[in-house]
Structure 1
């Protein structure tokens, strides 16, 4: 039996110019997001301080939020670390379980027909409704936070994994069959690599949801993360500090998403070289 190999033949190697360069960061990749952030802050200042369209008690101006952030940094920064840790742990848990469930659904049409409606039903329920029930079911601490992150994240990962594994390009599938590849060889060399771009789509959808799930879980936990701090400061009328915590959540989500995008580019360099540019 002819063995499938993971690298192309020498005469079929991609041209050197088509291979993306690693470790090279274009100035626009940093300048454009920074410009977008600057525009967002300018609009925020305009509607709060410039035109006074929003009452400061509801949405404080950015300079007030910045002052609150610097004043309470000894509280908010450790809370940021706790929320980031819960976000990453919950995301990793949902990624592993979600990919495994997606593999099972892709491997068996009967399993897909049996469990897909149940997964859709679980995903359709507003997760905020599970909050009080999680405290009763799993107790206080980290468990309700991780459970909330998992409930929000796992469905897009399952869907993207199952979709990627069941939409293998026909030419690649025919190539594996023509080489008499076994089912395991076909999966390892063809189907799973071809599904990775789609799987990363699900992971990138799930990453911001993980931050949302961690914050919602902290609403019903005794862990002093950013969600817990939002409730505490909002309860005493300190909306500026509550908004400072929200800003930290947004920045954390941006950085985690950018890190995941970087992992995708380093893991799948061939995707950019074999797809059309926008």
Structure 2
């Protein structure tokens, strides 16, 4: 079965997101834990969170994905920026305990001129501070397109982070198809790309896929998402992604430039291309 969903607004609460996902044929979804460009987070309603957990179980959802705000940068040269990231991440992981057993996705950070090695060290330091043995959430490091000084543009950079974290059994990777395409990896030759991922990181650590087309050519390092089949990756190649034996069991999340009706069309299209 294809486990697929899209990014949904959390403004109406947890259970409402689950109900919206079901209404468009989804069995997973992604949401921001708080304002994606700011620091505000709504108080958790425990009864609403419990209602979502019940719905996820009854309707056999795949794991859902919470997304950290874009503003966080644990690799920053500014101690205040790093501390803001640390506090926000720690708070988010505590909030995720209301919906245990799911995923929390994080853009690793940008080294802002310090160099990748220094930035990776700072990310590792933050993760070692916020991860505790009692957490029931898997933290995902997202593959990045390599725009500016982004860390995570190569599988090796992600491996260095994973290797430096003490409780790295709490970590995994989310592969974004637009990002790895823009970073220079081939989705047409997917077997080769996944073989490299397996060599560097290990396929068991790949926990989710952001399924997006790209407006840019391979290796552009730009990160501009396109609707499925309307970009340079193309529908045939993305169909190969959802049907690859190493990936087809994972939760796929659309982050395409769409409204809800557009997501529903893409989910229906991709379900029609999935081979059981």
Give the TM-score normalised by the residue count of structure 1: 0.21
Q: Which has the higher contact order (CA 8 A, sep 6+)?
A: 1
Greater share of strand residues, 1 or 2? Answer: 2
